[in-house]
Chains A and B, each alone.
Chain A
Amino acid sequence: AQTVTQSQPEMSVQEAETVTLSCTYDTSENNYYLFWYKQPPSRQMILVIRQEAYKQQNATENRFSVNFQKAAKSFSLKISDSQLGDTAMYFCAFMKPGGKLIFGQGTELSVKP
């Protein structure tokens, strides 16, 4: 069975600095997708970034980028120039063929002024 592990329950960063959130996963699949979702206090899950397993190039979306290490089954999220609005829970998620979407335990990120 697939599992997703986020080993950092809480992180904090100063505004304008860079922070990296860690995620590891376990799977025997070769083709899959990985996602980072953001969940602010309003509870609405919002997609931050996605990565296709067969693409070696790391995905980037403005201030958000990932470091995807397929062999190590690692998928970290880097947030550059952190903003107060980035304060939220961040969830790493794995989707295998068939569409089953599995989440990690989450990392609570606080951006401090």
Chain B
Amino acid sequence: EAGVAQSPRYKIIEKRQSVAFWCNPISGHATLYWYQQILGQGPKLLIQFQNNGVVDDSQLPKDRFSAERLKGVDSTLKIQPAKLEDSAVYLCASRPTPKGMNTEAFFGQGTRLTVV
């Protein structure tokens, strides 16, 4: 079974530029998460999708961050404009069962963003 795919692996941009990250979850997984992980900290949930609907985006800075999950499969996370404090690893994860909890989340390898 293929894992969660993320691209790019690394990205360096200047502040005020825009950037987009892409995630392809494991086939059939209904739940998709985006996390921001600042160096030395635990992952912080930005947004949770169930199929193509948003379940939780309470910690997403909506003035600059946006995310979508078209057709309930792939997802993109965009930052516009980027700030220095957005430098972090952005992790995507997916989970198979929308209602049951007896399922783990599977993670991609993340995208390391550096804003200079």
Contact = CB atoms under 8 A, between A and B. Distances in A.
B48 A45 contact: no
Contact of B48 (A31, A33, A50, A100): A100
Contacts, number: 63
Contact of A99 (B43, B98, B109): B98
Interface residues of B, number: 27
B107 A45 contact: yes
A11 interface: no
B105 A101 contact: yes
Interface string A1-32: 00010100000000000000000000000011
Interface in B39-90: 40-45, 48, 50, 55-56, 89
Interface in A79-106: 91, 95, 97-106
Interface residues of A, number: 27
A-B complex: 9 closest residue pairs judged by Cβ atoms: A45-B107, A103-B42, A47-B104, A105-B42, A43-B110, A103-B43, A106-B42, A33-B101, A44-B109
Interface of B: 31, 33, 35, 40-45, 48, 50, 55-56, 89, 91, 93, 95, 98, 101-102, 104-105, 107-110, 112
Interface of A: 4, 6, 31-33, 35, 37, 42-47, 50, 52, 91, 95, 97-106
Given A50-B104, A98-B55, 16 more contacts: A32-B101, A43-B110, A44-B109, A45-B43, A45-B91, A45-B93, A47-B104, A91-B42, A99-B50, A99-B101, A100-B45, A100-B56, A101-B33, A101-B48, A101-B93, A104-B42
